[in-house]
Structure 1
Amino acid sequence: MEPVNSAYFFIMLLACSVAILLYRYTITLKRFLNDFVKISKKVSNKEFHSRLETSARGELGKLSRNFNFMMETMANTIEEVEYKHLQLTSVLKSISHGILVLDIDGNIILINDEARKIIKSKCIGNEEGKNIRQVIDFKEILREIEKYIGSKENDSYSLKLEDETVYKLKIDPVYLQNSKNAIIGSIINIENITEIVKLENMRKDFVANVSHELKTPLTSINGFVETLIMNEDLEVSKRNRFLAIIQKESNRLKRLIEDILLLSSIENKDNLVTENIALYNVLKEVYEIVGYIACSKNIELDYCFEDENIKIQANGDYIKQLFLNLIDNAIKYTPEGGKVVVNQFVKNDEIIIEVIDNGVGIPKEDQNKIFQRFYRVDKARSRSVGGTGLGLAITKHIVNSLKGSICVESELGKGSKFIVTIPTKIS
């Protein structure tokens, strides 16, 4: 009986040991599964820094280490993707043009703030993933973009609106990596080129106008010189008259070239030396220069300075030219017996200078154009009084260099008021 009892006891001991081991393993496994469920919930909530903390050995320990390594790899990958996305977003935001990236179905993949403004987005901040027809509220741009969706060709197009705004649309296809045939979308570059177009047109107009303005006196000078050369026995009175015309046209050429050089100097700020300028002293100097012209036309010249000691930091020659252009213009276009007044006062920390005349006035339709180069309301009259067509353009550039503004109030036949506003402190 003893061997049987011994065997029975051994079996019972072995069974109890196995049961205890199974129980402990079950507890360990349950605890591991509970930890795994908690960690998986954190991961599903984008807490990718979470890790399994377990002392398990064997297969569970290996599973824990593999899971933690996988989570670390995933966290690093996501961090790298987020960093690259942040870089891409920062680049897109810093681009001054509108950038729109579409797939081949016209769905928006990427868009920057400038593009949102230009296309007048219907759902600001939620464009990605939506079709352009749901987003773009700018019919002209939508129509042009739709033409090139899925196109394999690079193309560009200028769109001019009724309000003179000009947009340039550049479309570039996006190919699948290492493929020259598979198109996966398009990049749309939308640029507002209104100012560029205006400047180009101004350049063309300026060249054309300068050529015309130079050609007229040169033709006149050349013609009279040839007449004098070919007619040696010309009467003295006629010769003197021709020479007087040549002198007049030469002086006109000189004034024109000087004005062009001055305008260029102001625009480029060449060797600009500034100092504290007393406006009243400059005005008195200009009055002495133009006084005889006003006297010859019996024009009353007057001024009213609120503060004769007021000074601004500026270039003295520019301030003199500003006063000279405005007052000289007022005298030129005021008939005999008229009146020209200059007022100065300070309002809201700004210096206001008014030049008022009771002359011929300016038609309403011309008032927005008179500061353009070579623009003349009455070309024949302007030339007869010796104008180059650049005086007001120069004046406007001088005022702009002082961070100020200039405007005109005028009524045809009743006179004009030019108003210059300059900040008291010019940075």
Structure 2
Amino acid sequence: MNIDTLFSSFIHEIGKAKTEEEVYRTLLKSLKAMLKYNGALVLKQNEVVFFDPEVFDISKYSDYMAWIEERLLPSFFLESDEFIGIIPIVKQGKMLGSIIVRTNKEPNNELMVFLQIFSFLTGITLENLVLIEKIKNSEKFMFEVLNSISEGIFVLDEKGELEFSNKLGKEIIEKYDIKDYFKFLILDDANIHSKEFGENYFTIVKTKFDFLGSTKYIITFNNVTYEMELEKLKQLDKMKTEFVANISHELRTPLSAVKAYTETLLNMEVDPESQKEFLSIIYEQSERLEALLNDLLDFTLIESGTMELEYSEFNICEVLQSVLEKVSPFAEKFRVKLEHSCSEVTVFADRKRIFQVVYNLLDNAIKFNDKEKDERFAKVNIKNEDNELIIEVEDNGIGISKEEKNKIFEKFYKGDRSLTYEVSGTGLGLAIVKEIVRLHRGNIDVESEVKKGTRFIVRIPLGK
């Protein structure tokens, strides 16, 4: 089999691989055709994960392995009457594993180039499998979150046929005959309804959206039987209408991108450059989806009053550094300069939740930058003052009006309505921040002026 035919066969077979083992089997099959090797091993984290036809001793090659990991290029050397080849599996300058082969003939330059290409494509495929698994886990997590929400949630097609319902939705369907009511809902012009089913009274919200060219409806059933104040009910319905519309958009965008690029990678032959671009987009969108779902999960904990803190001692500056590393690419995208100062303070608090506070505030400072300004900044200052942990986050962004100051910590509120779909998020970030600060026995204040900027000040008592 010539090299071109072998390469085409490799691309075809590896494109069908669903597991790591299938990827390795395909790779070794191609290497055997190229090198006529006597034996081959696949190593991952210095452990043999695949071999053909049997395992052989590799302990004497440890020095070579370190050299290969530094060069990230295939290499062959003579040992007795055989050539030993070490071929790294590389992705974005990182060694994911390696193949060690024993062969009677040293490959020429052309074969060395193909070995490098084969290992690179193998690395991309392995990373793709990891991303696909992560997407599946994210979808599972999303369903778990939806099932934990204390509302019946339904997704209908354009004819009113049920496509999805969460756990509470299934209970409502089992208890009441609402299939005909679904068809009424999608034909009615109103998006908010109130209806009594049996002994319960529901507020029902309908949101229409487009998903991959098909019209869909999200219907939420909220049991308001025991609500006491009608005005409070109306306000809650309004917020949840906006929330459902917003979250349907926020979830649809990353899910559509992930699905489209994954289908392309699975079903089409794509050059390595495009594969790298597609996988970067998939990873970015899956992180966005994970952040949205984490906000939803935190919201359910707040609503149910079950959010608990896990206290430990830690250096607050280490937490700040972690936040800065995570938001830096986002700041570069919006051309926002990050500035920070931190006094070395050991605090006794929930490290994960304090990270969340700093991250959410800094994320907002970057997000709501003023595009009309040439110089944009977001500053973080953390210090110990009068035995209190002080976290200040300041920006020179669009600012907050006096009217909005009283609303920004409300659930689902997203500030400037003109930015609702320009700036991603659930509108839960500041509500989550406020709850975390409250659980730490602290408080949060905001100072802001439209077109000049905003400063958030968090104060949390130090000590156990």
Same fold by TM (over 0.5)?
A: no
Q: Which structure's residues are more often helix, by fraction?
A: 1
- Which bin holds the TM-score, normalised by the shorter protein? 0.3 to 0.5
Q: TM-score, normalised by structure 1?
A: 0.44
| TM-score when normalising by structure 2 | 0.41
- Structure whose residues are more often strand by fraction: 2
